[in-house]
Amino acid sequence: MKVLKFGGTSVGSPENILNVKKIVESQNEPVVVVVSALGGVTDQLLRTAQTAARGDASYTDEYEGLVRRHHDMIDAVIPTPEKAAVIERIKPLLDELGNILKGIYLIKDLSPKSTDIVLSYGEGMSSIIASGLIAGSQWFDARKLIKTWQQYTKHIVDFELTNSLIHTAFEAVPRISVVPGFISSDRESGETTNLGRGGSDYTAAILAACLKASQLEIWTDVDGFMTADPRVINNAYVIDKLTFIEAMELSNFGAKVIYPPTIFPVFHANIPIVIKNTMNPTAPGTYIAREVESDPGKAIKGISSINDTCLITVMGLGMVGVIGVNYRIFKALANAGISVFFVSQASSENTTSIGVKNADSDKAIEVLEREFAPEIKQGEINRMKKECGLATVAIVGENMKRTPGIAGKLFGTLGRNGINVIACAQGASETNISFVITLESLRKALNVIHDSFFLSDYQVLNVFLVGVGLVGSSLLEQIRKQREKLQSNNALKINVVGIANSRKFIVNREGIDLTGYRELLQVSDRDSSPEGLRDEIIGMNIFNSVFVDCTASPQVASIYKELLEHNVSVVTANKVAASAEYEKYAELKQISRKRGAKFLFETNVGAGLPVINTIGDLINSGDHILKIEAVVSGTLNYIFNVMSETVPMSRAIRMAMEAGYAEPDPRIDLSGMDVLRKLVILSREAGYRIEQADVERHLFVPQSYFEGTLDDFWKNIEKLDAGFEARRKELAAEGKRLRFVACYADGKAEIGLREVDSNSPFYHLEGSNNVILLTTERYNEYPLQIKGYGAGASVTAAGVFADIISIANIR
């Protein structure tokens, strides 16, 4: 035989309760059906009783609502021939309930005993409706089966008496039995009691254990235990199998699928539990047993959380070495009816922190300060300290006890995302690591843990992009085209959650449609500014955040520091930050290392060429860079490559602009500032302290051409054509070419034109290609050469894209 429990929204609507009928009548073996109150009725009953206790006559309206609710359900689901019989059974219960509520109204008092009686009517009436609906069923009164005794404010099951009564009642097991959940009675007086929160689950487990059922099925409104709260984690999924221990741990820390005490009777009887969905009966659900097969590649099964946490700390040197302090703490709280769900103690014994509900915090402080009043007075123990508005998170999985480094990975992951752990606890069983954080960090913590411990099918990076010009728009298009492949082949999801241009910005935590972002920007009512973007990103507090800068703006670069301090990684094609004052550059690098947030700027030199990463690999592996020589201006290289008898320098400059290599104001490229900044960045990454002012500039365009307006520049630039053509011819005759070269060697940095012959690696550069030569202690006689496209929106965007992907540590 099996025991099936239906509760909550499973019996909350006519459609659902008709599903219950189908499920029960389709069983091929005897079943005991345990039924909760109709969805929401328990809360309705309590509210109505409280209204009556206040002396508010409107309780009668609420009572009439309860009457209508049950009559409407009978009309909707009970066939006409059986309706009268069901109504006849329900009417005395409704009349009794009305009389009890009237009595509460008259005396204006709602005692615990009266509350128990009022609440019992929900399950009583719903089970009668279910029994009338299910053909061939027999109804049993749970008060005659489950007996309790009182301990403090709770009703404790007398299992010896209860089991005896169940065995007697079910000596001949009917084909279908219907039992109201939650309800019980006192073993001495016979007065109605209840089993407390989750009591219907407990009723079902007690019956299953006593009757030695083949399995206990808990039919609810979800497909089973989820890896995390699906309201917070979009890609949370159903856990197919759990051990009893794992299910209990998840339930204790907020997973509301089943009530923790439910597990104990069936655990001891070794009866499996299956969690099923009444609205989706074909779903396999979650199977819970003493031993189950699990994926060895996943150390944890699920994450659970309690978002109603107050941490109370008992602290004092007088606690050290004193026996019985914790006994007194928990005894005092238990006597006051305060539940403790989290405990953390310092190994020095001078601090014990406990987690309670926020509503219980003041009472807990009062109780503990009364218990330790003598010690507080003598200064041996401090006044109790409380911190409310917190959340408790637990990661659960029996595989953790066979996997070293789980705690390190957990806290490292939280730290890199800027989540501070206030207190933590882990039992010797290693099946649960629980910790307390601020409530504001809960969503971020759940997402990043779910992501990092492979509970998700893919890792997520949440990208905020600023700058949708040539590079930025190309990057968004590359992400759009590659996103599906990355997700399927590399288990990486690039989620663009923010886009900004110089005027407007848009954000969407769930992700922005990259096919229509320009239209969204046009209609956005949110003005764009670096400070506004910074505040929005930090305020969203989203996990695995990456800020991508595809501008050349110093103002945008100025917000990097605060973003890194809030554990937001920064990927930038903007050279301003890495080439600014050395102290600012070094500070950003230091914050990045300290916070575990990436500061990546590979495309600052060579667009998509792997220059900075190569330098880093050389340095980190113990090499020493002695000399840097580089042609790193795709614009200038293009200009000198296309100059010929028929293409003078002024025309070559215009061609560079038309090809998209040069800036709208080509003087920016001709001034050599771009090359200077790149040399500064390369030298710094090679380990040298250098400022922009330290670089000698040997320019080929006189300084006067950089003064005045852009129109002035175009009017005068042709004056240089003849001189450059004469020099080009002379060099061509000698088999040489002009290249604008950056060089750092022996503590000296310089940029300028260099005449190179065919033996030079710079000679054969085509188009806008770049080449970087690194002379090191290892690559001494033959320098390491990095060569390829060094300009263009698509290759620069690809380099930025590669930096973004590298944050996820995939290959």
Active centre residues (catalytic): 678
Burial 331-357, CB ≥16 within 10 A → b, else e: ebbeebebebbbbbbeeeebbbbbbbb
- Residue 707 burial (CB < 10 Å; 0-12/13-18/19+)? exposed
CA angle 312, 313, 318 (to 5 degrees): 145
CA distance 627 to 265: 75
Give buried/exposed letters for 410-433 (b at 16+ CB in 10 A, else e).
beebbebbbbeebbbbbeeebbbb
Half-sphere exposure (CA, 13 Å, Cβ side) for 610?
8
Going by the DSSP 8-state scheme, the letter that residue 525 receives in this structure is: -
Backbone angles phi, psi at 312, to 5 degrees: -110, 130
Beta strands in 632-768 (DSSP E): 695-698, 736-745, 748-757
DSSP state, residue 382 = P
Torsion of CA 511, 513, 518, 519, to 10 degrees: -110
DSSP state string for 714-752? HHHGGGGHHHHHHHHHHHHHTTEEEEEEEEEETTEEEEE
Cα–Cα dist 789/769, whole Å: 4
Cα gap 549→558, rounded to integer Å: 11
Distances (CA, A) of 711 to 274, 505, 635, 670, 705: 79, 34, 20, 15, 11
Cα gap 609→795, rounded to integer Å: 8
The DSSP secondary-structure symbol of 420 reads P
Q: Which of 46, 87, 85 shows the shortest CA–CA distance to 70? A: 87
| CA–CA distance, 407 with 264 (Å, rounded to integer) | 28
By C-alpha distance, which of 246, 240, 294, 244 is closest to 269?
244
Q: Which residues, in sequence order, are CB contacts of 289 under 8 Å at separation 6+?
A: 241, 243, 244, 270, 272, 273
Q: Say how many CA atoms lie within 13 Å of 405 toward its Cβ.
A: 4
Distance CA 392, CA 13 (A): 34
Kindly give, in sequence order, each residue whose CB lies less than 8 Å from that of residue 131, ignoring residues fewer than 6 positions away: 137, 138, 139, 178
